[in-house]
């Protein structure tokens, strides 16, 4: 399965993704194709909508202390729901769908989620630190929300100007 990253300002990123009800080969093929796409582009998280599939599925692989992302650390999260949240943290986020832009975003420091795995089994996860931040970032994608939507008016204006310039320069080369 050949996938490409959907980039801002593509309107597909604004879709609200649909609940996954079939835990079948199509889902497994998509998840299997998303993983190399995420790893090869230096990503740590990827939602299905970022490759054009509006379903409530996301993957994460937080680098270990050596910066490695071994396959056994891969998390596949389907139909997640936040059941608990606490604290506050600020972290410089980036997104494969918004290349070359990074900004500090405020998120919950700790979250608990219920979700399903690729076979539809019910799972529970308590997360903190970068994992908690990345889950919140990816869960926003399921609602059509991007981290740039959380910027102040002034920062968003600056971003739009710089991003437009970047796209123009990329087109030339």
Binding site for Co ion (CB under 5 A): 95
How does DSSP assign 71-109, residue by residue? Answer: GGG-EEEEEEEEEEEE--EEEEEEETTEEEEEEEEEE-S
- Any contact of residue 91 with ligand Y12 (CB under 6 A)? yes
Residue 99 engages ligand Y12 in binding (rule: CB under 6 A): yes
Q: Pick between residue 9 and residue 94 the one whose CB is nearest to ligand Y12.
A: 94
By beta-carbon proximity to ligand Y12, the closer residue of 94 and 144 is 94
Residue whose token pair is 């971003």: 159
Q: Show the CA angle centred on residue 10, arms to residues 100 and 162, nearest 5°.
A: 35
Q: Closest distance between Co ion and the C-beta of residue 60, in Å?
A: 11
Task: Quote the Cα angle for 6-33-93, to 5°.
Answer: 50
Q: Is 96 in the site for ligand Y12 (CB under 6 A)?
A: yes
Catalytic residue among 76, 93, 103, 138: 138
19 included as an active-site residue = no
Q: Which residue, 55 or 95, has its beta carbon nearer to ligand Y12?
A: 95
Minimum Å distance from CB 18 to Co ion?
18
CB 100 within 8 A of CB 148: no
Contact between 57 and 45 under an 8 Å Cβ cutoff? The reply is: no
Query: Helix (H, G, I), strand (E, B), or coil: what is residue 114?
Result: strand
For ligand Y12, the closer CB: 64 or 119:
64
CA distance 101 to 163: 8
Q: By CB under 6 A, is residue 171 in contact with ligand Y12? A: no
Closest residue to bound Co ion by CB: 95
From residue 42 to residue 81, what is the string marking binding to ligand Y12 with x (rule CB under 6 A)? Answer: xxxx------------------------------------
**Residues labelled as active-site residues:** 138
């Amino acid at each position: 399965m050949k996938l490409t990253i959907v980039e801002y300002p593509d309107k597909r990123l604004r879709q609200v993704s649909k609940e996954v009800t079939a835990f079948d080969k199509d889902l497994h093929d998509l998840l299997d194709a998303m993983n190399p796409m995420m790893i090869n582009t230096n990503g740590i998280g990827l939602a299905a909508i970022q490759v054009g599939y509006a379903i409530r599925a996301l993957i994460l692989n937080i680098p270990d202390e050596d910066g490695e992302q071994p396959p056994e650390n891969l998390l596949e999260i389907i139909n997640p729901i936040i059941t608990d949240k606490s604290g506050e943290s600020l972290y410089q986020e980036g997104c494969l769908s918004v290349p070359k832009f990074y900004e500090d975003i405020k998120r919950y420091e700790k979250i608990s989620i219920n979700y399903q795995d690729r076979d539809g089994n019910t799972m529970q996860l308590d997360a903190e630190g970068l994992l908690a931040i990345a889950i919140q970032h990816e869960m926003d994608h399921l609602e059509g929300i991007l981290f740039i939507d959380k910027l102040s008016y002034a920062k968003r204006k600056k971003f739009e100007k710089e991003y437009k310039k970047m796209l123009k320069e990329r087109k030339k080369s």
